[in-house]
Amino acid sequence: MENLKKTPLNRVHRELGGKMVDFGGWDMPVQYSGVIAEHLRTREHSGLFDVSH
């Protein structure tokens, strides 16, 4: 496996069950519980998008 760069939130993404993928050389979550569940949760509460890469 190649050596992917990690954002400061990498540990949090993993603890929250993020499905991690190679995103341009960065270890980033592509989704968590599923896009529909995430969409509904964000509409009712809030969301955070990690742009530190």
d(CA 40, CA 1): 34
d(CA 36, CA 30): 13
Q: Which helix (H) or strand (E) holds 28?
A: strand 26-31
**Model's pTM, two decimal places?**
0.81
Q: What is the pLDDT of residue 45?
A: 97
d(CA 23, CA 37): 22
Q: Where are the alpha helices (DSSP H) in the chain?
A: 10-15, 35-44
* Res 2 pLDDT > 80: no
Q: What is the pLDDT of residue 13?
A: 97
| Interval 3-43: pLDDT, tens | 999 999 999 999 999 999 999 999 999 999 999 999 999 99
